[in-house]
Structures are given as C-alpha cells and as structure tokens.
Chain A
C-alpha cells in the first residue's frame, strides 16, 4: 500500500524522515536528487567510512560502536577492465547492524550507478570527505586492480591503508604504494 510522502507539508515529511532508522534514511537518499537533499539536511554523521577490497568491493559506514551499514558488490577476480573502471554492478547487497546484531539484509538488482557513485553519494550525504581506511584483503588482489581502485577513490583523502600482507602479491604492494 502506498503513502504519498511528498504531498505532506515539508515539516511533516521531514518528521517522517527523522523517524526512519539510519540505513533506511541512506536508502531513501538514493531515490532522487530531492530525497538526497532532504537526507543531507538531517545532518547525519558517520564515524568512519571504510573500503574493503577482496572478492568484492565493500563500502562500510559506521555510525557508532553498535550501528553500521555496508554496501557491497562482487566483481570477478582478474577480470579485464577495458576502461579501467569497475563495471556497474548488477546487484548491490546491503547489510545493516543495529546494536551489533545483523538487523536487516537486503539486495537490489539492476543498479544503475557504479560503486564510485555510491561512495561519493554517501560521502556527500554524510559530509564525511575522507576514507578512514582502505583495506586490501585477498590473495588475488594484483597490480591490475590498482588503477580501477584509484579511479573509484580519486580526489578523496585516505587516512589509513591496510594490507593483509600474508596474502597479497609483492608487486601488488609495490603498485599500491606508487
């Protein structure tokens, strides 16, 4: 059953938005430019934004010690990226933790924006212009992955680089530091 939220007076519509749980607010922000502006006006603040690269690329957003949300998308290892970009993911998986328990898990298909757009969207909405940690954690991460990762993160400040060095190729480490 539908509810015409945007037909309410703006004050009441914002009241509804303030009463959503945080991961629903972020999902709502993805619906249109207007919904993005509305969520941005709430002044939500993330404590950390972390990017994890392994068999998938994951954007992990934490709000406090017990609430976090992660948006992740899988990609093929060693896949040749002709345009040196991550392809637009065919699905996005979302997990939200509330009070350290996995509260919600859902997935959407035919996403029409790529992982870079997701990342920059959340950075803008949460007014958090940095990546607190970029973590590589897979034995198959190789030098060919670095350029697409750089493109995703271009222009963003990265505070910490994490490597699972036991699993990672030596030449990949060298590329990362370049």
Chain B
C-alpha cells in the first residue's frame, strides 16, 4: 500500500502519554545557575546519585534552592553541562583495564575543548570530581596528545614535571603537614646528636 492510499486515522493527542522532561537546577561556586535535563545528568555518576538520593519532584526543582556545586566555577560548569546535554542518552563506557586506551575525540568535543590549558585543567578536574567517564576520557586524551614525539626534556617542560629533588621535598612537606610533632622530634634528635649525646632520653 502506498503512502498516499494509507487510511487516515484520527488521533486523540491527549491520549498519547507525553514524556515529562525534568530539568534540575545547579549553582556554581560563583553563583551562576544552570538548568540541566535529567537525561544529561545521567552522564555524571556523582550528580545522578545525588539527584536520585534527593528524590526531587518537578515542583521541588522549581521551589527549592538550586543544588550547589561548591568547588566548580561557572565557566567550567557551563562546559561540563554543554558536554552532558550533547551526549545525553549515550552509553557510558566501561573501563576494561586495557593500556593504552584508544580514544577518538569527536568533532563536537574537540571544539568544546578548544580552550586554554588553565580551563582544560579545570574541566578535567570537574570531570573527575563529577565522575563523567567519557568527558574524562576525551579531555585526558587531549592532554596525552601533548606528549606526542617529545623527548624527556620537552616532556618535563610541557607537563611542568617536578625533578626528583622537588618530589622528595614535596613528600617531606606532606609528611610534616600530617605530623608536625614528628618533625620536631627529628630536629631535637639531630640537635642532640650534634651535641655528642647518644641517648635521646
């Protein structure tokens, strides 16, 4: 039967169930507000769990204050939610443990990440914090591509890699910050050794 000959059926549009889209409101640490669809939120494991736990209705979303994301600024959050809206409904990749990971950066993502390295750093930080697996994959791939064909000296400059001495100093500082008393005891011990005493007590 051709399309032209198909019977015309009156449809009661009111009888068709309309999927009600729910939009959540989020607020960045610099008080910028975003409305994000429920489906887009599913790309973030952290936010998805949060909204599930909150159990908001459509009325709650409108009447209650926006959900605050304390440690991400508006500029970064805008990129995050743009990415989530564009990729909503897509399957979330599962890490199969293979190394190296083969990741292609889609055109949309490449354009979204055409940003300076400071903002790219914040985007990766946010993707990690919000547990958005595929955004973390593509943003990390962009940073990984910076290593292509570089020598060790060039890599140290590109990634601002600390030297062994700087790593050691940072490790000591972290230990001291954890236990300042340990440092005091060590200094006292060293001082006694210099004075020729063997016993600490």
Interface residues, chain A, CB within 8 Å of chain B?
Answer: 1-9, 11-12, 15-22, 24-25, 27-28, 30-35, 42-44, 104, 106-108
A5 — nearest CB in chain B belongs to which residue? B159
**Cα(A172)–Cα(B158), bound, Å:** 46
Asked if A2 meets B149 with Cβ closer than 8 Å, knowing A12-B140, A43-B99, the reply is no
- Min CB distance A46 to B, Å, is 13
B side interface size, CB within 8 A: 37
Cβ of B93 under 8 Å from chain A = no
The segment out of B9-17, B46-54, B57-65, B121-129 that lies at the interface is B121-129
- Pick 7 A–B contacts, CB within 8 A, sort by A: A12-B128, A12-B136, A22-B100, A25-B100, A31-B156, A42-B99, A106-B150
Whether the Cβ atoms of B155 and A31 lie closer than 8 Å is yes
Q: A2-B158, A31-B152 are in contact. List 18 more A-B contacts (CB 8 A).
A: A4-B121, A8-B121, A8-B128, A12-B127, A15-B137, A18-B101, A19-B140, A27-B150, A31-B156, A32-B161, A32-B163, A32-B164, A33-B164, A33-B167, A43-B99, A106-B149, A106-B151, A108-B152
Contacts of A20 in B (CB 8 A): 100, 144, 147
Whether the Cβ atoms of A18 and B148 lie closer than 8 Å is no
**Cα(A17)–Cα(B136), bound, Å:** 12
> Which of B109-155 touch A at CB < 8 Å?
116-117, 120-121, 124-125, 127-128, 136-137, 140-141, 143-144, 146-153, 155
Interface residues, chain B, CB within 8 Å of chain A?
Answer: 99-101, 103, 116-117, 120-121, 124-125, 127-128, 136-137, 140-141, 143-144, 146-153, 155-164, 167
Contacts of B164 in A (CB 8 A): 32-34
Whether the Cβ atoms of A27 and B155 lie closer than 8 Å is yes
Q: Which of A11, A21, A25, A27 contacts B152 (CB 8 A)?
A: A27
Q: Which of A24, A42, A107 contacts B148 (CB 8 A)?
A: A24
A43 — nearest CB in chain B belongs to which residue? B99
Q: Which of B127, B136, B148, B160 contacts A21 (CB 8 A)?
A: B148
